[in-house]
Amino acid sequence: MDLSFTREHIAFRDEVRAWIQQAMPPAIRAKAAVGASFDMDEVMQWHRILYEKGWVAPHWPKEYGGTGWDATRRFLFREELEMSGAPNLSPFGLSMVGPLLIQFGSDAQKARFLPKILSGEEVWCQGYSEPNAGSDLASLQCRADDDGAGHFVVNGQKTWTTYAQYADWIFCLVRTDSSGKKQEGISFLLIDMKSPGVEVRPMLTIAGTPAFCETFFDNVVVPKENLVGPLHGGWTLAKALLGHERTLIAAVGDSRRMIRKVKRIAARTMAGGRRLLDDPGYRARIARLEVKLRGLQMANYRALAGAQLGRAPGPESSILKIRGSEILQEAYVLAMEVMGHNSLSWFNEPGVVSDEEQPVAPGFNYARATTIYGGTNEIQRNVIAKLILGLPTR
């Protein structure tokens, strides 16, 4: 297996890197330089810039608006975006429901939804988790009942619906049958967030952002043509979508950028008359983290090489998810320790800490979620035990 990049791929990476720096608006570039968070208007502004360039959905087939790049170019493009600190685009339309519609949707659904996902005209959110059905997703209770007149009537609650307050549409797993195994009575439904009976309640996270929401459905009427795939067949679609989500969560570029920030902060922090970066203890910890990240990067390259050969992501995506989320958390922990007392507050007055240090504490708190969302790391270890190691389930 060849894990090195060709001359053409290296030239492509250089082209992407230069374009990102040229195309990024000054206000976004300033935030990206210090790792600050972006509001939804800035995210959508960057979405439209990538759309106009034709690079907003490089992983989509070319006939639906993709770039036609091979798997290596798609990987390099994503890594350069992460390294630049550019806004992360909302994944729910571009990386989740869009590819799912291409694979399982009807011609009418593709024609209706895909162009507006690409252009950013319509924003999506995900309706999977419920108060008692997160890691055990098959236990979901949100119901969709046939009204006999061409509609489903949806009742129930979803939780952790990220940025639902900005979404035009939500893709939902709903229970349409309770008579058999719980996985066999679930369907995949597209719901207009402007429908009467939909209520969104944002929650302020410990990171200080209204990232998560509770979403309630009270007799929401949904046309039957918004069912994706077969009735009661949503579990297969759900698994396909989650596998793709976990592969993306490796986020090697994000961790590389964070470790570089740790080095910069340690280089200007004095302790005992010398730079913290020169302290052997901190140097060893940074080195150990970089070795772990290099291992993750090589595992990601192995998955990439498989993709180049036409293999779909398998259970190895669970390994990438676990290690990627843990390494990012470790990088934030190290940054907090290097900052010392400066890290104790994340709502400082301007000038109290540097612009680069200001986002560290909120990022540390938000990173606690990385081992939970996209399927908890405990669930991923069960997947590895069963599908890779062949261990018994009991």
Q: What is d(CA 89, CA 93) in angstroms, rounded to the nearest whole number?
A: 9
Helix crossing, 40-53 with 107-119: angle to 10°? 110
- In contact, 213 and 162? CB cutoff 8 Å: yes
Q: Which of 20, 42, 23 is nearest to 31 (CA)?
A: 42
Helix (H) or strand (E) holding 278: none
Count H helices, E strands: the chain?
A: 13, 10
Integer Cα distance of 379 and 136 in angstroms: 9
Taking CA atoms, 285 is separated from 203, 230, 259, in Å, by: 35, 51, 11
Q: What is the DSSP letter of 348?
A: P
CB atoms within 10 A of CB 119: 14
List the catalytic residue out of 245, 316, 330, 357: 245
Angstrom distance (rounded) from CA 268 to CA 263: 9
Active site residue 245: yes
The catalytic residues are: 245
